[in-house]
C-alpha cells in the first residue's frame, strides 16, 4: 500500500504498534475534531481506508520517515 508523506506522519503520531490499534486511535481522534477540520478528517479517513485493505504483515513492513 502506498502512503503519502502526510499520511505517514499522521500514522506515526497515532501508531500503537498494530494496524487495528492505529485504526482505533485514528477513530478516537476523529471524535475530537471540530467541524471545520475537514482536511484532517479526510486525511484520517484516507489512512483508515488504506489500513483496512492491508494485512497485519503488510502493516509491519511500513517504513515511517525519520524527519
Q: pLDDT, tens digit, for every residue of 14-51?
A: 999 999 999 999 999 999 999 999 999 999 999 999 99
Q: How far apart are CA 21 and CA 17, in angstroms?
A: 7
Maximum CA extent, the chain: 35
What's the whole-model pTM score? 0.92
Amino acid at each position: 500500500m502506498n502512503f503519502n508523506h502526510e499520511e505517514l506522519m499522521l500514522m506515526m503520531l497515532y501508531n500503537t504498534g498494530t494496524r487495528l490499534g492505529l485504526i482505533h486511535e485514528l477513530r478516537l481522534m476523529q471524535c475530537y475534531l471540530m467541524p471545520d477540520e475537514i482536511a484532517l478528517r479526510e486525511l484520517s479517513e484516507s489512512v483508515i481506508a488504506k489500513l483496512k485493505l492491508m494485512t497485519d504483515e503488510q502493516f509491519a513492513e511500513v517504513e515511517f520517515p525519520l524527519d
